[in-house]
Structure 1
Amino acid sequence: MHYLYILYSEKIDKYYIGESPDIVNRLEQHNSHYFEKAFTKAADDWEIIVSEKLNNKGDAVYLEKFIKRMKSKTFIQKIIKDNDILADILSKKP
């Protein structure tokens, strides 16, 4: 079991996309600045707004990279409104 997640910080009005087998622990790590050089150290109010449970790490990493390559806040907001987009992306995975 693995998760793709999207975090949001109201303080900096930014999104963060990641993957983890334990999203509750990962959220705590982001908010406590456990990852010293990570983008998420810019805020301490991250909240999970999307969590997609997947069968394996490969699918989670694939979705994470796909979303990050889009470099689009609008695309992220579309995913937030309709999580089915993620299943559609995975169905077209090579």
Structure 2
Amino acid sequence: MIFYIYILFSESSGIYYVGYTTDVSRRFLQHNEFSETSFTSKHRPWKLMAAFEVPGNESDAMKIERFIKKQKSSKFIRKIIDANTELTGVLAQLVRVPIVRD
């Protein structure tokens, strides 16, 4: 099974959200459309800013997601999103997935 790290941005709140999944399109729709009360439901609409394939298993995806979230830095996340940034260290294994933006 292939896992992905994805990064969303809420223009209305000015915040980023990082998650992992096996289906980026499905998760993106869930964040924007499901009526349940959750963190992401309070900051809609979300824009998909980046997605990365994670070589390995779910545990690897969870570790990378946790690493990014622990940085607690919008500047760090913007750097990851930038296609010109060479990912190093823990993030070097990620493979950028082309996404279609609106």
Q: TM-score, normalised by structure 2?
A: 0.76
Aligned residue for 2:64?
A: 63
Question: What whole-Å deviation, never above 9, does each CA across 1:17-69 have from its counterpart, x for those lacking one?
Answer: 000001101011111245523x2112221111110012322221111100111
Contact 1:33/1:40 (<8 A) preserved: no
Equivalent AA in structure 2 for residue 28 of structure 1: L
Aligned residue for 2:54?
A: 54
Gap change, CA 1:35 and 1:89, over 3 Å in 2? farther
Gaps of 5+ in 1: none
Aligned residue for 1:36?
A: 37
Q: Which moved more, 1:6-15 or 1:75-84?
A: 75-84
Higher helix share: 1
3-state SS in 1 of match to 2:67: helix
Q: For 2:86 and 2:20, how far apart are their aligned partners in 1? A: 18
Gap change, CA 1:66 and 1:35, over 3 Å in 2? farther
Gaps of 5+ in 2: 94-102
Aligned residue for 2:79?
A: 78
